Structure 1
Amino acid sequence: MATTNQTYGASLPDQFHLISNHLLTHLSLIADTREMIRERAALEREYATKLRDISFKAVGKRAKRASALVVGDEPSRAFNESTFKNHTFDSAFQVFLASLENTARDHITLADSLDSEVVAGLALLEKRKDDLRKLEVKNYEKMLEERDGIYDQRIKAKAKYDDACNAVENSRRKQETGKHSAEKFDSLTDDMNTAKDAYLVSIAISNREKDKYFEEDLPVYEDLLQDLQTSLTTRLTSILSGCTMLHLAHIQRITTHQASNKKALESVNPANDQNLFIQYNQRPFTLPADWSFEPCAAHYDTAEVSLDIQPKIYLQNRLASSRSKIANVKPEAEAKQRDVASLQKVLVKYRESPKTGDAEEVARQIAEASHQMAMLTTSVATLEAEIACIEAALGGDEGGGKPHSWKSSSFSIPTTCAYCDTSIWGLSKQGKTCKACGISVHNKCELKVPATCGDPDATIKKSEIVRSKSGAGTPASRTRASSNASVASGASVPSLTTSVSRASASIPEASPATPTSPSSAGGAQQAKVAFTFQATSPHEVSVSEGETVTIVDPDDGTGWVEVRSSAGATGLVPASYLKVLAASNGTKKRGPAPPPPIARGSKKVKALYDYQAQTEDEVDLEAGKTYELAEGGDDDPGWWEIKGGGKRGLVPANYVELIK
């Protein structure tokens, strides 16, 4: 659409000051633009300085690591500069670093050009145009002053004419009264007409000056301001165009650097670089030899697997354990292998079409799944090797088919191992207890116990197995109940083979024994302390190994005895920590109460103490609460099965009492 050229003089009559202020606004825009470009140049220079510093650091770091990056820390052959040129990534990286330095230099060039060409040009333009505007305003004001002088002459002529008219009228009134003569009146009339003529001449001059001002002079000055604004805008546009061209040239140089980067990075070939690394790091390699049996220097032996009774039991138990483990681990390993294969397919798809998914996330999942798969397949491989070795040694003699169901246990009171007859002691699951037959053993003895759970005629103890091997003695008959008794050393309190919380539950804060004490039967019963005991509550008393104490109240089935120490302090100690001395008056040691038998017809029990379940087949007890006795829950005399709160499980028999 064509624009009709209009002039300020023709279109904006008597708007000189408005046009001048408009021009002043354009001049202020030049000042603002100049300041903006100056700050932009400073910013470019600051950016270039920091970019150059970054480039120098990166080049220095690359120089230090170049050989390690290309051929590794300890190459097996000599290398030279051509080796680095053959490494595609290192070559591309050098181009990339060089582009940083070149880019910094280009920003410095841009900053210098902006200062010298744009900022300086804008300053010169602003000064020249403002000086010209001031000159034109000054000339306009002079012309306006001359016009106003002519207008003043008209006003003065009008005032003189008015004064002459007033004088004539005054003379007329005085002539009527005889005070003025006719000659005086005529003289004043002539003066009035002269003033009138002068007034009429000034009017003609003023009108001519008015017409000339509005029709000739003012349009010229307004058009001069318009021309000044036009030239200012044109020149400002030209300078800004030059500024734009500087930026475009700068961008073109940056684009050239980035194009070089793009070309260099597109040539990166990881396989080529990896082959180069392999080439400079190949060394002779021989697979390490298999390990073989090394006999002890102090004892002659051979590499033959021992199949004596005890070693064979160990192998049979270990074989059963390994088969159980591999049955669980192998399906997991196979499933994980399938997961990895599936993820590999997804990764290929995402890398071919990046928009379909996050390939990096899939790669992370593959790394994690591969690690898990490696761990599982290692377990399978070791178990398979273990099973093959033991099967070859046993030759089919894999033992009985009644393995124990072991669960890890903690022991707050020393408990006798059913295998080696030594104490199990510790709060960090130092042993294991069979969930079926109730025997407890050290962790180290687990695989040495024959897999004959529940067999009353089976040999369990180490000493009995040894005697059986030598033919001396007869294997001791052992029922489940007698096993429990031997494990607890005569005490049926379940806390001897349970966890810390179960042990603490067997020590109620207010459970005084009521049976008659030995002292009331004719003399105080004495006991020797077998193990040092440190009190952990106000109801207990600390005693030392070898100390003789007086029994105040014997064990009432809780596993605790109230004693008076040699220092005179009274409190509770574990019954198994004491060895009762023979009484001189014939008083007999009172043994711990056995678990109460379940009376026929009993349906409910009441919890005597709080108890916290330690395994999945146990349930919690809350002191004072009533529970339903489960049917068939009396298989183990030390444990009863109850139902409560929607759950069913085992609890210690001594922690509850029957409700008739």
Structure 2
Amino acid sequence: MFMFKSNLERVVLEREYATKLQLLAKKLSDKKSKKMAALVIGTEPTKSWDENTLRQNTLDQAYSQFIVSMNDTAQDHITLADALSMQITDALRATIKRHDDTNRKQMQHFSKLLSERDRVYSDRLKYKQKYDEKCSEVELYRQKQERSADDRHAERAAKQYEQQQADMHNSKNIYLIGTAVANSVKAKFYDSDLPSLEDQFQELQTDLLIKFTKIMVHAQALESSHLDNLKSRVAAAETAFNAIAPLQDQNIFIDHNIRSFFAPPDFVFEPCGVYYDTFAQSEMSIEPAPKVYLQNRLSRCRRKLEELDPILRSKKVDVEKLGKLVPAYAQDHSLGNAEEVADNYLEADHQLTFFGTSERILTTEVETISQALGGDEGQQCPHTFKSTSFSIPTQCGYCKSTIWGLSKQGKTCKVCGISVHSKCELKVPADCPGSQGGAPRSTPHPSAGSTSQAPASRTISTITASHSRASSVSVTPTPSSFAHTDASIHLSEESSLNARVVYDYTPTSPFELAITEGQSVEVLEEDDGSGWIKVADATGGSGLVPASYIEAIDEPASVQPLQPLPTINRASKPQMGPKKNYGIPDPILSPSWVSYEHTKLTTFFFLQGEQIELTSGPSGGQSYSDDWWEGIDSSGKKGIFPSNYVREHAYADEAMVADSAAC
């Protein structure tokens, strides 16, 4: 404020006595004439005004009286100048600094509100783009199905078309949800957040004027006590400053700045231009596959609301209590630091605002989905999925494709053991047998961490999921953690894995990439069992390389080994698997160069249908470890193999035949 500079100048002029003090009074009068109009009625008033309008402002009146008082106190002594320097100027400096800091925080809060609103708007546009892409893909698959009607691949084309339709419906549902969320957030922004922020700015301005008034009143009190002959003049200035009425001055400003305002119209569903949607434009798809997705999403939103409710109630109580403390501390400074209490109040209110936004998003999703489902919410026995890394190929319980890799590409239910891709999590029906009211699953998926007791000489086969024991991290909930959008969910599921090259490799086809020992590469596609992996180097090149020629260097922190780590014999290069074939998967073979230091036992080579006899003893067979078993193959060779690669055969006790993938 220009009053702060004026007080600094006044201290200097007081020491130079009357002549300079009169010069300062004139300068203040000029500044007042230039800036008071903007302070009283704003820079762009919507109503005509004159000098009488300015004189109605209590701050203008007090400031005018202050200038008169300065002209009348041209005979002040140096003692008064010292008092003003220590008790008035420093106080003004601190007040202005705190006001600027608080105002900056408010502006940052406003920017965050805008960013949060724009993020929701942007997510809606992303959903729209995704929906359009899915519609285009449906049209392409439809044309493909028509072309292959009499072909031997007609059935596969029909299945692909049905799956693509389901994906398109999911994209549409997500788009409709995003539209509803955007409308809800928009309404909250303009009906609640923005008015609340304006009220806070008004309160800050009121607080600034009140503190400024107190400081100036104290300045006049110093003059009154030090200069008895100027008491009458000081009393006039003191009266003027005490007469400052922030509410009255703000009403004058408001009266001269009234403008019409209309909230933006609601968002609406925009149909795709390349796909004819047979449903109504505002109707969500509730066919079997999309309905399962909606039911799971509804269940997750309700769980989030249950977690958010106690936090929201606690924040409301905090805001209410702090709101009562602010005026009490402002009136009685003996209670404590009033400024700290005011800062705490604003911070608590900001947090409540964002938690309220999360509640609005979740509530809107629940209402939108519930209305679409019409009471058909499924069994509501949700799976307890947990992010999992898969060290061996595992079939997805939904799409039946392979899950494999250490970059957390899938999730596993901690109760029933079913494993799915992260993208398939919400597509799986909520019928977990371990949940309350759930029906038992006919063929549960065993987890790698479970141990089953069986007779000593039983044969086992079949690949199952290898579940990592991921550590769970407890974090303090934040507003955004309760309302993740689908865009943020899918982004969080993508992660990269870096690896180091351990052997040189020269490509033999255009699809392969040249690598050198010690080079760092990024894994694009992990080994699907063929022995080949797709990587990218620092120059932007990408291609296939033998999976055994690289090693991971930054595995996710939550991944823990399921068994003792193998050591690689670097005396000779490992044998490469067959070239990667994207049409027919190759059999999966465990490399013979992997050994285990603590047992010196090698892993098996065995193919589908081969018999394996479990060894006996306290450390043999299934007792070898949780994830590795010991057995004897058909040639009499003794070794260990992953327990999740095999399963017990149903019709033989002493000698049984493996009937799944090779190890």
Please indicate the TM-score interval, normalised by the length of the shorter structure: 0.3 to 0.5
Of Structure 1 and Structure 2, the greater helix share is in 1
Q: TM-score, normalised by structure 1?
A: 0.43
